[in-house]
Amino acid sequence: MAQVIHSIPELQKWSMDAKKQGKTVGLIPTMGFLHEGHLSLIDTARKNGADAIAVSIFVNPTQFGPNEDYDCYPRDFERDKALCESKDVDVIFAPAVNDMYAGDLTCWVQEEKISKGLCGLTRPIHFRGVTTVVAKLFNAALPDLAVFGQKDAQQAAVIKRMVRDLNFPVKIVVSPIIREESGLALSSRNKYLSEDEKQRALSISRSLHQAKAELENSQIDPETARLLVKESISAAGGIVDYVEVLDAETMLPRESPAVKHITIAVAAVFGKTRLIDNIQIKMR
């Protein structure tokens, strides 16, 4: 049985006790409505040595813009709890909004470079909310390591930078994207897609994989790959927010063509659902 903890002092105590017993505390921050992608983060935490595992389930209001889906974001705590228990999670941390945020909060954590482009352009307050809540979750769970998904590649890069710049004693592990057999990257927001939108959204993963194959065989250059992805998604009726070729380490534009480890990152809207995806490529 996983222990469900709602209060920050109780979670801090659990973590400190686990460490006193010589355990390595792993934190998997989530907003719940768990799927195989989240469960793979738990496996990654264990592979990286975590033997006391906390999963946080908290739909974080500060990372949603005023017209975004905070109110209707899917929630199913009992299902999430059963899934965590199937993975032998030790603790589920499920705070209430007013346990996490004082009504008169005036301190924020803000990364000021990596968070500005890509999703930061259309979601201007999003990453400030993410870095603030992740910093608070680190202070609550006191983890030795925390696992984030590669699907949110910009988020992972922003969090790594926060940890580096603010000296959090937490190892950040980034776990690979988990896809449906069709290629669609798993996301809690896939629930919003109709069957037709889901089929058309496959243009994202298909074109990313095609671009990767052609780039790795030196058949095309990165700009041609970018256009290939963009045009494939548009042809399938997706509204492209961005398709960018980036330095895979920083998620910033490549400083020079000598940077061979790249990520092609995508955000596109199908129907009313904004999807993100990316692929990493090692060019010759």
Contacting residues toward ligand PAF, per CB under 6 A: 29-31, 60, 63, 130, 133-134, 152, 155
Catalytic residue among 6, 35, 38, 126: 38
Measure Cα distances from 232 to 204, 213, 227, 251, 266 in Å: 8, 15, 8, 23, 12
Smallest distance, Å, CB 32 to ligand PAF? 8
Smallest distance, Å, CB 220 to ligand PAF? 32
- 60 vs 232 by CB, closer to ligand PAF: 60
Q: Are 81 and 89 in contact (CB under 8 A)?
A: no
- 90 vs 152 by CB, closer to ligand PAF: 152
Smallest distance, Å, CB 186 to ligand PAF? 12
Q: Are 240 and 233 in contact (CB under 8 A)?
A: yes
Burial per residue of 69-82, b for 16 or more beta-carbon CB atoms within 10 angstroms, e otherwise: eeeebeeeeeebbe
Q: Is residue 108 classed as helix, strand or coil in its secondary structure?
A: coil
Radius of gyration of the chain (CA): 19
Smallest distance, Å, CB 234 to ligand PAF? 27
Smallest distance, Å, CB 240 to ligand PAF? 22
- Beta strand residue intervals within 75-170, DSSP E: 91-93, 145-149
- The span from the CA of 41 to the CA of 186, in Å, is 13
- 33 vs 245 by CB, closer to ligand PAF: 33
54 strand-pairing partners: 27, 91
- 83 vs 228 by CB, closer to ligand PAF: 83
| Beta carbons within 8 Å of 277's beta carbon, 6+ residues apart | 151, 177, 185, 204, 205, 208, 265, 266
243 strand-pairing partners: 266
- 176 vs 253 by CB, closer to ligand PAF: 176
Cβ neighbourhood burial of 169 (10 Å; 0-12, 13-18, 19+): exposed
Q: In the annotation, is 126 catalytic? A: no
The residues annotated with a catalytic role in the active site are 38
